[in-house]
Structures are given as structure tokens and as C-alpha cells.
Amino acid sequence: MKLLEVFLDESGDINRGGPMNITGIAVLSPSAKVAQAFHASLYTVLKPEGLTSGLCDQSVANGSTWETVRAPQGYIPKRPKSGEWLQFEGKISQVAQRADVLAERLGVWISAFSLEFRASNRRGWSTNNATEDLLLDRTYGECLQDVLEVLLYETPGIRASLSDTEGCALGIDLPSRMLGASGADASSQRATIQQMWRNWGIDAWTEMADDGQIQVMANTLGASDGVDVLTAALNRRKNADIAFIVQRARCCRLVTWSQWLEAGNLPEQSRISKQSTMINSTPRPKQIHYLADYLANRLFQGSIQPNSAPFGKWFDRGFLLSSADEHAGSWIGASRAFANGNRVEAIRNAGVICADPQHRETKTSSFFRRAAREWAKSLTGNDFRELFGLAPGTTNI
């Protein structure tokens, strides 16, 4: 049975209301055994070249304690020092190239995907408290579901594999996520912490940010929340036949070697507490998950060319979409409507998108129109009557 593993991360600052992206890498292996060999071999290849990024299931065994973890002498930092960006970008490319070569050798298929969105998008309802709204992180959560929906149902190579009669298993690795809100006085922060627990069941606390401000922090994606995110994404397509099984759905904390070593410089009790949390708060990620993290960040910074090797090949197999200025959100809604049997609604929505004066041919429109151009073939007589505003039973169309 094939195994499709999906590794997602994000980049951008939701506090600023600007563009963000959710980006990922999908790894399709002929079997779970081959997938295991791919991840183990990738780590073995990267480590001696100083190309690993952080703690993973290969570098930190289950049951490990903070005392047994040893950072390698060479590694890719979370952020390069001033003047070392070119070398940093080169190392990211080397990791991708090593993964691509190894995948070819093992018969593994890699694709990449990304959705850009505006963090300021409002989602249906809100609370009467702006800080609670922020810490609920709903814009990000719903865009995360958008990405999974498009990946699993609208991406041809992925959809074909999940529908394969020989069977396919699915594994989803999301990033754990922690969000902070600053700017309030101590009294307001205490009230927010109480309200987050009382109203939403979310544990919140205060913490000093890098700029010295005290923030209210909340975990918006914990280790087990991957189940709910995947379930919500799958439930968007009510008529879909799900032929695959789910092997795992989890959230993993990515702890870079830079972060691990920084924590090692803290006073002893703080160091023990910090490093113990780092290795025990979530399941260990796969090393390739860090490449998804870097890819998301480099796309956000505009410092990577999506058509460069091997990323161009990977994105051709996946997608590169934007709801910030390319109507991806509207296209996703139209595609969902068609899949759920609302064919007329889907075609009308597509017509509205294409009639928009701001509409232009983009990677987003090309991706969705590939399937949308076939929608008319599924219309029934009643669909045509509804589309043209005719009464049911009318025959003179």
C-alpha cells in the first residue's frame, strides 16, 4: 500500500494583517517501508554534510531526555547571520537536491504546494474582544483546511494516488503553533488569560517577547489537534468517496539546533525546563519537515525562485496559489460547491470570478480552470433551466 505523507508549515505575521503563506511538501512512497527508508537515508546523507536543521525522530530517540541530546557540529541555522544569506540559501537548495536524488533512487514522488492569504481576512463570526479573536487564530486555521482540501481533492497526482484501487495511506504532519498578543496592561492580560480558558478551553499564559514586551501566549495547535484539522478539511466534501486510510494526523514542534543551543545557555533550572519541553511537548518531526519550514519562509521573504531546481518540478506536481490577490479563496469555494452537487452555484461563482475587472490569468486561475472547464459536461436539464432562470419543466431552451 502506498503512503502519502504531508508536511506543512507557515510563514508571516498574523498580528500585522499582511500576507502569510501555508506551504508544504508531500512525499508519496510505494510503501510504508520505503517511506521509512527514505527518511532514515535522508538524515544519514544530510548529517555529515552539516545540512540537518533540528531535532527529529532520527536524531532523538523516543524516551530520550534533554541530557542525552547532542547537537551536531555543523547544522543549518534557523536564521543566518548578516552577510551569510547566500551561503544559507545554498544550503537549503542542497537539502532539496539531496532529497530529490534520494527520492528518484527509491521510487518516491515529491511535490510542493503553497497558498498565500491575507492574515486580516475575517472568517464568518468574531468575538467582542480583539485579543481573543487573535488568539483563536481562526483565519490561519481555516486556511490550513483550505490547503488540505485543495491538496487532497483538487491536485491531480495526489487525488489519483489516494483513489488508487491498490490502496493508499495518508499521514499528515502539521506544525504546532503558539501565538502571542501584546499591547495590553497587566490587568487586561490577566482577564484575557481567564477568558481564553473559560470561554474557549484554551490554556494561555504571559511570556516576555524578544522585544522585551510581555505577551499573552496561547497554543493554537497542540500535538493532537491534527485530527480535528484533517477531519474538518475532509468533511468539506460531503459527497467525496474516501478510499484511503489515515495512518497519522498530528502536530509536531520544530525545534532547530539554533533554538536548542540557545536554551542550553540559560540558567540551569530554566535550561532543564526549556529543553525538556522542547523534546517532550509533541511527537518528533521528520527531518524533511524543516525543509517545508524553510520553503515557507523563503517564499514569504521572496528570496527563492519557485521554478528553480528541484522546486519547479515539485510545484508543477502541486500548486502555488494566492487568495491575497488571485481569487484562490473564491475558486476553492466554487470547486467545493461543484463537488458537493451544487453545480449551478459553482458555475455562477466561477463566472463572477472571471468577470471581475481585476481577474487575470494566473497560476491560481490556471490550476482551478483545469477542472472547471469540464463542469458544464455534468449539467442536467434542470441545471440549465436554473442557470438561465427558466421555470422547472420548461422545454424551449
pLDDT tens for each residue of 179-215: 888 877 888 889 999 999 999 999 899 988 777 788 8
Residue 237 and residue 268 in one domain: yes
Final residue in a domain of this structure, among 220, 241, 276: 220
For the chain, how many structural domains are there in total?
Answer: 3
Residue 168 and residue 185 in one domain: no
The model's confidence at residue 15, banded by pLDDT at 50, 70 and 90, is low
Residue 184 and residue 90 in one domain: no
Residue 199 and residue 83 in one domain: no
Residue 209 and residue 336 in one domain: no
Least confident of 93-107, 144-158, 312-326: 312-326
Residue 273 and residue 362 in one domain: no
Q: What is the DSSP letter of 115?
A: E
pTM: 0.92
Report the distance separating Cα 345 and Cα 328, nearest Å. 17
Residue 184 and residue 307 in one domain: no
Report the distance separating Cα 292 and Cα 276, nearest Å. 25
Final residue in a domain of this structure, among 267, 300, 322: 322
The model's confidence at residue 397, banded by pLDDT at 50, 70 and 90, is very low
Residue 312 and residue 332 in one domain: no
Whether the predicted pLDDT of 161 surpasses 70: yes
pLDDT digits (tens, 9 = 90+) for 220-272: 899 999 999 999 999 999 888 778 999 999 999 999 999 999 999 999 898 99
Whether the predicted pLDDT of 284 surpasses 80: yes
Largest distance between two CA atoms of the chain: 84
Q: 394 in a domain, yes or no?
A: no
Q: Are 348 and 387 in contact (CB under 8 A)?
A: yes
Residue 111 and residue 193 in one domain: no
Residue 195 and residue 153 in one domain: no
Beta bridge partners of 131: none
Separation of CA 59 from chain center? 23
Final residue in a domain of this structure, among 188, 205, 220: 220
17 φ/ψ sector (left φ>0, alpha ψ -120 to 50, else beta): left
Domain extent, residue 185, equals 178-220
**Mean pLDDT of the 315-338 span:** 92
Beta bridge partners of 112: 25
- Crossing angle for the helix pair 363-372 and 328-339, to the nearest 10 degrees: 10
**Mean pLDDT of the 84-90 span:** 88
**Nearest Cα to Cα of residue 341 among 238, 262, 207, 191:** 238
Residue 201 and residue 160 in one domain: no
Residue 130 and residue 34 in one domain: yes
